[in-house]
Structure 1
């Protein structure tokens, strides 16, 4: 952030800053909440149905002022209300991490199995939801003059290999949307995309740990990607990549090679 430009080497502190994380009650979002709170940020933990998890996480984070925040991706009015709540209770927003997402495992060759309802739900949650969240929080982010939006995407956006064709398409759309928003939100807001490959979470329904192990074995680094690995990339985007916007960070163990 702006004070960080005059800082010494090492992680820059986020004391006095507010971070909002969609999908913050579990997985990558929860790992990111922990990392940002460790650096001093006050965190609003966005959730859809996981209020209990969000409340428990807020209570265990270091520091004070952390709060659960209802942020259903399909409800633009609720997202505007969430932005108003952050402004009223925390007074500012400096970091927005779009970690919420959804998918369903559907074999790519089985075109009929990917029905319209599933396709639409994935696109609304993974594309319109982040857009609506950014739109709702943009005035608050601009006010600080040095804000960051981090969109959690996927290597599936690049290689077209993922849990379903709709999921791959949604992440490709998120990446392109990040390019557009990086142009129009500058200079007050940077927009960076963090794209992991398979992460060791329960995000994909029905995907067992063996599938994650096999995916890791197929990468040059042969390391299983943990939620905290993605969270560390988010921290780097927020604190260190001062002149980066409209770009994508791959956290994939070299899977793209």
Structure 2
């Protein structure tokens, strides 16, 4: 009888340069994003935790950075999401401003950069999202922009659908008193109807909260790493970082040198500008 072999693939992608950049506030973060989108080779993806901010930033980048940008998130109609996917795959868009909804089924191999505007809640999500870059094996970069206090957003998002012990107790005492149009009540209704006790539900959410807190602490340890981001990154996945030399990473204590990585745009990267009628633009979109 053959013994099953478990094959695990490393999360390390040597061709993706890891970069963390500290900014003072929201205004500086926007300014830095504009600089990066303007100067880095394209195409690229910018991840947000907010659907509204993804949409607003895509429009702002079109107006201020002279790029073809579009937003992609779960709030869009399925038809719109499909059109944006096709435009991105066809090279008609320079940058996608996306939430975590973007990526499933997308296999564009020449994405040169992935920027995270908001702090991810955990390293697993971050690994999956930066993995959109450099699938052709060519040099790419993953940049995380961080302002002090950015961790408050994933903490708040984690609390959104997490009932505390008091709410769980009140629901289990009088379940019919609660409207079921709220996601958190729908969740409690599911557990209640499946015979899961109040004590078990309280423990379940307490355990989830501990897991989220631990995951966010790992993410912050990566952001605050002062020597080697790849070492911190791989250590979290129980891997040992091999020697990568100069093309490894740039913690917040150093500066990203995109030119040295050959990731800055040159005149040959800029397409020839041609006049296109509004009818032709409409045809390309649809």
The TM-score normalised by the length of structure 2 is: 0.34
Larger RCO: 1 or 2 (CA < 8 Å, sep 6+): 2
Query: Which entry has the higher C-alpha Rg, 1 or 2?
Result: 2
